[in-house]
Amino acid sequence: SPIIVWFRDDLRLSDHPALHEAASSGARVVCLYVLDEQSRALKPPAARPLGGAARWWLAQSLRALGDSLTAIDGTLVLRKGAAADVVAGLAREVNARAVFWNDIAQAPHQAVAGDLEAALARDGIASQIFSGDLLVEPSAIRNKENRGLRVFTPFWRRVLGLGDPPRPLPAPKKLSSIASIPSESLDDWDLEPTRPDWAGGLRESWTPGEAAAQARLKTFLDDIGGYADDRDRPDRDGTSRLSPHVRFGEISPRQVWHAAHFAAAQHPRLAGDIDKFLSELGWREFCRHLLFDVPDMAERNLQQQFDAFPWKRDVRALKAWQRGHTGYPIVDAGMRELWHSGVMHNRVRMVVASFLVKHLLIDWRAGEQWFWDTLVDADAGSNPANWQWVAGSGADAAPYFRVFNPILQGEKFDPDGAYVRRWVPELARLPDDLIHQPWTATPIELAGAGIELGKTYPQPIVEHKQGRERALAAYAKIRGKD
């Protein structure tokens, strides 16, 4: 009798421990993906449905996975419903001997998996759970109080101290599968937008799927020299752009780790860049470990004093920020990049997040939710953890009183204004020294660049110095209230 492999955020064939084990057993293998919008554990407040951009990615990634499985004589069965019922139901349907899956170390997912395990046990069907989503399981890194670490540097030192993670497993070359198991159609799942179809920018920017993820990693590592410096420059193509691939498990962190170490061994002069790159992957790991300890991290301030923060409810300002109409070119460029391509450069994510939370005094949760809906890499750990980091309410956070100056950030990290010109084309004709602060241009300079401030491009929504002072005054009200 067959083994079912239940796919979740691991939409790949290589380094997929559950699939590898099932294929190696010689049994017939049924590959299953369940679109679960019904399990109680996956509904708010415990978890959130996928955002719009992530749903688009999921559809493409499932298509790519289905094609890869077909190429090795397998098929991907698609079903919708509460996963525990659906998987256990299919197990009965095909008379499965076992169900295999890779763990996701997140409370809501583990709750669903726990229900499935119990349902299978009642039917006398075995379940086997593997690890493949993280470099190190949260249980392996605890402090004396048996809590996860709250500071990144010691956390990452502990991870590095554990040595190399297991080597990645090869993809199965051939599967022995069962023909004609009823499957739903991806087109009926409404994962992709139709009216209006806003996904043109995503299609233009990305090729989801395992093959594209592997190709991206290779291209990036072939040219990683300078990453440690270039990674902060939104005007350069200096980072891996792997985040959505990693988010959907099209590539595993272990594969990235080992490929990076292989590159470092071949080119020792790149060791600094490669260590920096791996430490960024370490941040993903850190955020996931935090989430394991604090499942409601998207809701709750990690530092309690922020519960009393006097956030402003300002729908107009929020909307201006979302649409990239704040009057600060670097902020607007970032927000428009996000809307178009489903990602934003990391440096600019920090700038726009700081701007929302500090200059506009809007609750970080409103920004986190917008990112959740618009990012193709929207991640239950990395998104809230980074938002809280910027807001100052998080673990190992930037102190609230450190307010990013959006003009200086622009001038430092986009010195020629190339990034702003790309995403805010109405400013393209301004000279470099004015592009990050168009309001300082003379009327003649503005006219020369074809700009009418307040009409073709907005005046700053808040003056920087005033915004900064207001933020510090708000912070003074909660300071020391922990």
**Is 430 among the residues that bind ligand FAD (CB under 6 A)?**
no
State in angstroms the smallest separation of the CB of 272 from ligand FAD: 14
What whole-number distance in Å separates Cα of residue 175 and Cα of residue 285? 32
Q: Which residue among 137, 184, 280, 411 is the active-site one?
A: 280
**Is 350 among the residues that bind ligand FAD (CB under 6 A)?**
yes
Q: Is 387 a catalytic residue?
A: yes
State in angstroms the smallest separation of the CB of 247 from ligand FAD: 6
Both tokens assigned to 283: 């941040």
State in angstroms the smallest separation of the CB of 353 from ligand FAD: 4
Q: Which one-letter DSSP state was computed for residue 162?
A: T
Task: For ligand FAD, give the closer residue by CB, 50 or 453.
Answer: 50
Task: For ligand FAD, give the closer residue by CB, 117 or 377.
Answer: 377
Peptide bond before residue 329 is cis, with ω within 30 degrees of 0: no
> Any residues with CB less than 8 A from the CB of 362 and at least 6 apart, and which?
311, 312, 314, 317, 318, 321, 356
Task: For ligand FAD, give the closer residue by CB, 283 or 400.
Answer: 283
**Is 317 among the residues that bind ligand FAD (CB under 6 A)?**
no
Both tokens assigned to 259: 């490929």
For 213-267, give the DSSP string. HHHHHHHHHHT-TTHHHHTT-TTS--S---HHHHHTTSS-HHHHHHHHHHHHHH-
Q: Which residue among 189, 198, 311, 439 is the active-site one?
A: 311
**Is 437 among the residues that bind ligand FAD (CB under 6 A)?**
no
What is the enclosing helix (H) or strand (E) of 363? none
Task: For ligand FAD, give the closer residue by CB, 344 or 451.
Answer: 344
Instruction: Tally Cβ neighbours within 10 Å of residue 454.
Output: 10
Task: For ligand FAD, give the closer residue by CB, 75 or 382.
Answer: 382
What number of chain residues touch ligand FAD (CB under 6 A)?
27
Both tokens assigned to 364: 């970080």
Task: For ligand FAD, give the closer residue by CB, 83 or 242.
Answer: 242
Percent helix, strand and coil across the chain, each rounded to 5?
50, 5, 45
Q: Is 101 a catalytic residue?
A: no
CA angle 61, 66, 67 (to 5 degrees): 100
State in angstroms the smallest separation of the CB of 75 from ligand FAD: 30
What whole-number distance in Å separates Cα of residue 363 and Cα of residue 378? 18
Inter-residue contact 62 to 33 (CB < 8 Å): yes
Q: Which residue among 101, 257, 283, 339 is the active-site one?
A: 283
Peptide bond before residue 182 is cis, with ω within 30 degrees of 0: no
State in angstroms the smallest separation of the CB of 211 from ligand FAD: 17
Choice from 62, 281, 427, 446 touching ligand FAD (CB under 6 A): 281
Q: Give the bridge partners for 76, in sequence order.
A: 31
Number of separate helices (H) and strands (E) present in the chain: 20, 5
**Is 436 among the residues that bind ligand FAD (CB under 6 A)?**
no
**Is 120 among the residues that bind ligand FAD (CB under 6 A)?**
no
| Candidate ranges 127-135, 195-203, 349-357, 461-469; the one touching ligand FAD (CB under 6 A) | 349-357
Choice from 79, 284, 436, 464 touching ligand FAD (CB under 6 A): 284
What is the enclosing helix (H) or strand (E) of 128? strand 126-130
**Is 5 among the residues that bind ligand FAD (CB under 6 A)?**
no
| Candidate ranges 195-203, 204-212, 309-317, 371-379; the one touching ligand FAD (CB under 6 A) | 371-379
Q: Is 364 a catalytic residue?
A: yes
Q: Is 6 a catalytic residue?
A: no
**Is 341 among the residues that bind ligand FAD (CB under 6 A)?**
no
Task: For ligand FAD, give the closer residue by CB, 75 or 383.
Answer: 383
Tokens 């649409």 — which residue? Answer: 323
Both tokens assigned to 344: 């934003």
Q: Contact letters (x/-) for ligand FAD, 388-427, by CB under 6 A?
A: --x-------------------------------------
Q: Contact letters (x/-) for ligand FAD, 228-267, by CB under 6 A?
A: ---x-------xxxxx--xx--------------------
State in angstroms the smallest separation of the CB of 417 from ligand FAD: 21
For 169-227, give the DSSP string. PPPPS-----S------GGGGT-S--SS---HHHHHH---SHHHHHHHHHHHHHT-TTH
What is the enclosing helix (H) or strand (E) of 31? strand 29-35
State in angstroms the smallest separation of the CB of 100 from ligand FAD: 25
Closest C-alpha to 270, from 237, 298, 308, 230? 230
Q: Is 283 a catalytic residue?
A: yes
Q: Is 311 a catalytic residue?
A: yes
Most distant CA pair in the chain, distance: 80
State in angstroms the smallest separation of the CB of 1 from ligand FAD: 38
Active site residues: 280, 283, 311, 346, 364, 387
Binding site for ligand FAD (CB under 6 A): 231, 239-243, 246-247, 280-281, 283-284, 287, 346, 349-350, 353, 371, 375, 377-379, 382-383, 386-387, 390
